């Protein structure tokens, strides 16, 4: 059950919001939940991998690529974008990074800019950064 960490994280995340006295917008809450499902289950017609394949535990802890290379968590991903990517030679947004991972790591068809799928994935990944300080151009945790 690979989707359990993401579901567990979502439950903790929404409990934390509720205990903080904030009432989450139901549309945003749904986008985060839908993004969590996409993160855990969608292969984007690629090589059979999902985001969860490399970014394990719902993205909240460090992960590994299929060839064993360590990768950082996504815990502060939304706080460090936009950022300059030397390999690409340009400034990338979180949307660009997600599309790049789908195209490269998953060898799939990236969700279109402006699509609900991309918006939901961005919503989920952004939820992982809740409470973290903004550090545009910073390093992943």
Assess if residue 39 is contained within a domain. Answer: yes
- pLDDT for position 112: 99
Kindly indicate the confidence band of residue 3, based on its pLDDT and cuts at 50, 70 and 90: very low
5 close to 56: Cβ distance less than 8 angstroms: yes
Q: Could you tell me if residue 14 is inside a domain?
A: yes
Residue 93: inside a domain, yes or no?
yes
The predicted model scores a pTM of 0.82
Burial per residue of 10-44, b for 16 or more beta-carbon CB atoms within 10 angstroms, e otherwise: beebeeeeeeeeeeeeeeebebbbbbbbbbbebbb
Q: What domain range is 57 assigned to?
A: 4-127
What's the pLDDT tens digit per position in 66-122?
899 999 999 999 999 999 999 999 999 999 999 999 999 999 999 999 999 999 999
**Cα–Cα distance, 5 to 60 (Å, whole number):** 9
Evaluate if residue 18 carries a pLDDT over 90.
no
In a domain, 140, yes or no: no
**Assigned domain for 73 exists:** yes
In a domain, 137, yes or no: no
């Amino acid at each position: 059950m690979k989707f359990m960490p993401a579901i567990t994280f979502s439950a903790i995340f929404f409990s934390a919001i509720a205990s903080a006295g904030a009432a989450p917008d139901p549309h945003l809450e749904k986008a985060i939940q839908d993004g969590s499902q996409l993160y855990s289950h969608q292969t984007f017609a690629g090589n059979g991998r999902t985001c969860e394949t490399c970014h394990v535990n719902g993205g909240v802890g460090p992960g590994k690529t299929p060839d064993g290379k360590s990768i950082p968590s996504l815990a502060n991903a939304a706080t460090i974008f936009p950022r300059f990517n030397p390999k690409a030679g340009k400034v990338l947004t979180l949307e660009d990074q997600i599309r790049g991972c789908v195209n490269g790591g998953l060898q799939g068809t990236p969700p279109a800019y402006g699509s609900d799928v991309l918006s939901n994935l961005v919503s989920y990944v952004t939820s992982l950064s809740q409470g973290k300080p903004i550090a545009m151009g910073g390093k992943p945790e």
